[in-house]
Chains A and B, each alone.
Chain A
């Protein structure tokens, strides 16, 4: 009976929803840490704030793309309604 339950597509879609949420948490933590370190660096040395800001934006984009990988897979699962 458990096997029959697991074959139900709606559980896959629920998994996709949970996965998308977890991906967002991951991106949030990563970008939050980058932002925190950037703030700290800018507070210690205001002259370097231009460079720090530039580096922060670029790294934030890379982390965001990693979260979007997971998001795309979750979308593919949820759009797989037959």
Chain B
């Protein structure tokens, strides 16, 4: 049985057994509590995928996050989100504001307020940014220290990935002058990769599965593409060469729509891939709470483990695809000498 003799296989089998027991035990425990109340699975899943004003790590371990709201009537208000909940975990209005499905309104007039709170996704964004800064400032320092020498430490882990982004994404698609856009592509790739992987950790927030975050990334690509578009690019959109004059107004409309659908497709692709993955994982875990049997716990754990590995692959692939398409659009915008 040489397959089980190495330490990796043994660790994997032990992890499988422990997580199977943990998941199935949690289903059994729930049976005692909720025999009267029916579990609303879709609400549970949606609640875990969306943003939240307090960070709910586990039952009883909740981190209330600060709420920062601005309204014309009451000005700027900063308070903890714990104020919205009383002892029975019911939502109560506080200081003239009320919380309705995680949106904050004025209590008396039901008008929405400008919500600038530090929510779960904002905290994840801060964590992601801090992690990126720590890792890459250290890698940059290693590069300065190891000038002309072999890489060491964290630098040797990230160097193949950086070279991959340069040789497979930046250079083939942008060609000459790729150095101007290379920092942006690297930042994009690692931000999305770290964001995706952090979202898979237990208790973490769904950062890149938030359509606002992916929208901002797509807007960055949109701005960079169109600001660095050269004469060929704009000529191709407004007055496509090589076409009969009758068709050109129609093609102009199609090309203008194309300018906007490219970033929209980037935005929706990343959002859908990550959010759908999380929904699938949460649905399979929620099966345990629906059936409340040990064997469902074990089966569900196996499937969730397998799908989590696929999700790690999807995290890397979606980062690659977003960066690749951004490089492609930038390359198309800065392409020189078109022969017609």
Contact = CB atoms under 8 A, between A and B. Distances in A.
A58 B317 contact: yes
Nearest to B269: A65
Interface stretch (A29-37, A42-50, A67-75): A67-75
Given A75-B279, A79-B42, A79-B46, A61 B321 contact: yes
A57 B313 contact: yes
B114 interface: no
Nearest to B43: A79
B272 interface: yes
14 contacts: A57-B317, A58-B317, A58-B320, A61-B317, A61-B318, A62-B269, A64-B314, A65-B272, A65-B273, A68-B272, A68-B273, A69-B268, A71-B276, A79-B42
Q: Which of B269, B272, B314 has the most CB of A within 10 A?
A: B272
Contacts of B269: 62, 65
Interface in B62-118: none
Interface of B: 42, 46, 268-269, 272-273, 275-276, 279, 313-314, 317-318, 320-321
A65 to B, nearest CB: 5
A44 B216 CA distance: 44
A42 to B, nearest CB: 19
Nearest to B313: A57
Given A58-B321, A61-B318, A72 B42 contact: no
Given A65-B269, A79-B42, A72 B275 contact: yes
Interface in A13-66: 57-58, 61-62, 64-65
A31 to B, nearest CB: 12
Given A68-B276, A72-B276, A75-B279, 5 more contacts: A58-B320, A58-B321, A61-B314, A62-B321, A68-B272
Interface of A: 57-58, 61-62, 64-65, 68-69, 71-72, 75, 78-79
For the complex of A and B, list the 5 residue pairs with the smallest distance between their C-beta atoms, beginning with the closest: A61-B317, A68-B276, A68-B272, A65-B273, A65-B269
Contacts of B318: 61, 65
Contacts of A69: 268, 272
B101 to A, nearest CB: 12
A75 B46 CA distance: 10
A62 B270 CA distance: 10
A75 B49 CA distance: 13
Q: Which of A58, A61, A65, A72 has the most CB of B within 10 A?
A: A65
Contacts of A79: 42, 46
A72 B273 contact: no
Contacts of A58: 317, 320-321
B160 to A, nearest CB: 14
Contacts of A57: 313, 317
Contacts of A71: 276
A75 B272 CA distance: 12
Nearest to A58: B317
B136 to A, nearest CB: 25
Nearest to A73: B272
B185 to A, nearest CB: 16
A7 B30 CA distance: 38
Contacts of B314: 61, 64
Contacts of B273: 61, 64-65, 68
